[in-house]
Amino acid sequence: TAGDPTLRRVMLKISGEALMGDQGYGLHPPTVERIAREVQSVHEMGVEICMVIGGGNIFRGLQGSAQGMERTTADYMGMLATVMNALAMQGAMESLGIHTRVISAIPMDQVCEPYIRRRAVRHLEKKRVVIFAAGTGNPYFTTDTAATLRASEMSCEAIFKGTKVDGVYDRDPMKYPDARRYDRITYDEVLQKHLKVMDASAIALARENGLPIIVFSLDAPGGFRSILAGEGTYTRVE
């Protein structure tokens, strides 16, 4: 089943906007703490957890380049935004008593660890939560692709994409009350129908590596844990 209680290692991808609460920008500490508790409840089940957090609550490369900034510069600024979010989440996790490491694709040794695959694996084996920051380290990519890449490198069994809604719908469920949720859908259908799950390069990479994507609501309290326990509603992209 989609919520497979036997999952041992997973990737949780959340957008930067998930951390801003009802504000239009930046970080909302109570929201960061709430999400940290959701992660804690899964960590308590003994599941090894990788995380990737976007940066859209602070800065998006495309936005910067639309305002005349050079695209690559703007993308590096976006990657730096993800480091800020990762540090905020690390702080919230550690105040709950969970050992958490931030690992950056762009080395900044005074701030966090550089990405070294084998070291990241070792942290996971020791049940530390690992937050992968600075995306892939390359402009023109997104944190969705970074999540898929790191999930593949870390041999995660699935990517959990936390969103505002409990799965993938045929139309925007916020606008159309009769929108239908898919229980399961293929990578190809997501691409053909241009459904907003993750960007196309992330979907293609997940397909290449046979990594299922579980789209679920991060707003529902206990949602992450219940899906790992084999319950709840979600969409499985496979």
Rounded Cα distance between 222 and 225, Å, is 5
Complex with ligand UDP: residue 62 or 179, whichever CB lies closer = 62
Q: Judged by CB under 6 A, which of 43, 60, 101, 161 binds ligand UDP?
A: 60
CB of 175 to ligand UDP, least distance (A): 20
Would you say the C-alpha torsion 223, 57, 202, 36 has a positive or negative sign? negative
55 near ligand UDP, rule: CB under 6 A: yes
User: What does the angle CA 141 – CA 210 – CA 230 come to, to the nearest 5 degrees?
Assistant: 105
Which residue has the CB atom at the shortest distance from ligand UDP? 54
Q: Judged by CB under 6 A, which of 4, 9, 17, 113 binds ligand UDP?
A: 17
Rounded Cα distance between 207 and 224, Å, is 23
DSSP conformation class of 39: H
Q: Judged by CB under 6 A, which of 26, 139, 204, 229 binds ligand UDP?
A: 139
CB of 133 to ligand UDP, least distance (A): 10
Centroid of chain to Cα 5: 20
Rounded Cα distance between 229 and 42, Å, is 9
Q: Give the footprint of ligand UDP on this chain (CB under 6 A).
A: 15-17, 54-56, 60-62, 75, 78-79, 81-82, 135-136, 138-139, 141-144, 146
